Amino acid sequence: AKNIAILPKDGSLDETGALDCNGLRPEGDYLPDEGIDALTGKVNVFARAKPEDKLEIVKSLQRQGLVCAMTGDGVNDAP
């Protein structure tokens, strides 16, 4: 992400930086739609995403009227 300027090369992060996907489900259950929408509206990189996390991110972006796609290598993306 740093090499293609999605994240700052100096390692500094702000509110549009990276988020470990555990932040989508801090106590085991997913945040309410409004909470997930607030995160997906400002975060550029989601790390350690489970397939279920990816679906929640895509649904959130779609709720916000954005067109999005999900990719994966298939190795660890199967439910």
- The pLDDT score that the predictor gives to residue 40 is 92
DSSP conformation letters of 4-44:
TTSS-TT----TTSEEEGGGGSTTSSPPPHHHHHHHHTT-S
pLDDT band per the 50, 70, 90 thresholds, residue 67: very high
Summarised one tens digit per residue, pLDDT across range 9-60 is 665 555 567 888 999 999 999 999 999 999 998 888 888 888 899 999 999 9
